[in-house]
Copies of this chain bind each other. A is one copy, B any other.
């Protein structure tokens, strides 16, 4: 019974180091959350899939909540990076409004387990750690500031304040995504009852807010 050392997943992993195993656990955990719902994560199931027994996972995470917390932090990080990407692409141009809304929806479609953990409360008793909340608050402020800067680069025509208009944008963004996920989770963006509404909502917002390089002297960007 001399098996090659690499036939055993445990032995195979031992050589890859702590960080790699951690990553594998996180990846499998996200798989389960995607398949069964974010709140249905089970450490025993994780252990089964990575070829371990459940107690061994405690070498890598001090509890199930700590695993959730790491995934939460990771999600924040990724979302923040993607927002930065959007900024590089659109600057404060008028397409940024549509792009921001559509991106939120796309993020929810592509990483439903992250979306659930970040923007819903699917796990009873789970509160992100203070460290993760710092990241989360940072993202929130960034995000608010972005939308606000965009709005200030134009003229509000509805009598609402900049902050109120910003919050309306957030409400529409989250509402559209939540309803799309609940009613047509697999529809593509631009399609389906709520997915198709995104460009219309973006257009509608321009009834209340006129985009423009400068409220006084407007020119088409060449």
- Segment of A12-20, A69-77, A85-93, A121-129 in the binding face: A121-129
| A158 lies within 8 A of B201 (CB) | no
Chain A interface, number of residues (Cβ within 8 angstroms) = 37
| A175 lies within 8 A of B171 (CB) | yes
Indicate if A207 sits at the interface (CB-CB under 8 A).
yes
| A179 lies within 8 A of B168 (CB) | no
| A179 lies within 8 A of B172 (CB) | no
Indicate if A178 sits at the interface (CB-CB under 8 A).
yes
Q: How far is the CB of A98 from chain B (nearest CB, A)?
A: 15
Indicate if A170 sits at the interface (CB-CB under 8 A).
yes
Residue of B125, B194, B204 near A160 (CB, 8 A) is: B204
| Residues from 56 to 90 in A contacting B, C-beta threshold 8 Å | none
Q: Give the chain B neighbours of A204 by CB distance below 8 A.
A: 158, 160, 168, 208
5 interchain residue pairs of minimum CB distance: A175-B175, A40-B124, A37-B124, A171-B175, A39-B124
